Amino acid sequence: VINHKYISNSDLRKVLHLNDFYILPSAFEGTPISLIEAMKAGVVCIVNNIHGGIQELIDDNNSQRFKIIENRAKDYAETISNLLNNPTIYYKTQKLAKEQIDKKFDFKNNLKKFTNILIEAIKIKNNRNPNHLAGSRLDKLFIPNFVVIFIRRLLWKITNR
């Protein structure tokens, strides 16, 4: 076990690849960025089974379900031991974790979803205004310029990589 006090962003990926496991025994978490980074690096993650973003990141529907109930140290040790004694499960877990994060945090896919949500929200807003003036510009679908510019720049960056 190595406790790194500070790791620069440029060194983070290198350090993560050196690890066999990422242990997150937190009692309270939102959506831990450190867990996302570890999964993205293909590190097998073992976490405390708490409410929050961890439930969305560590999926119970496949073999990467390493959530420790009641945060017992003995259960962490047993899980690590079982994984080290079953390399097939260990490597499958690494692969599934990375695939899940790559799919969930795919920039192009999420940008499309975000754009569709914005457009749908604007359509709903414009269709709910019964007190509008006939012929007003406010009756038409409107996306603020800063949103249009933001989306165009992101799409340009994606297509010109």
Q: Model confidence over 83-92: pLDDT tens digits?
A: 999 999 999 9
Inform me whether the pLDDT recorded for 63 exceeds 80.
Answer: no
CA-based radius of gyration for the chain: 22
Distance CA 77, CA 27 (A): 18
CA distances from 2 to 5, 21, 46, 49, 76 (A): 9, 11, 16, 23, 17
Consecutive H or E run containing 121: helix 107-127
Inform me whether the pLDDT recorded for 145 exceeds 50.
Answer: yes
pLDDT, greater one: 75 or 143: 75
Distance CA 146, CA 152 (A): 10
Look at residue 135 and give its three-state secondary structure: coil
DSSP state of 53: T
Side chain identity at residue 127, one-letter code: N
* Segment 109-125, tens digit of pLDDT: 888 888 888 888 777 76
Give the pTM: 0.67
* Segment 9-24, tens digit of pLDDT: 888 888 888 888 999 9
Contacts of 36 (CB under 8 A, 6+ apart): 57, 101, 105
CA distances from 112 to 56, 148, 150 (A): 21, 13, 13
Inform me whether the pLDDT recorded for 108 exceeds 80.
Answer: yes
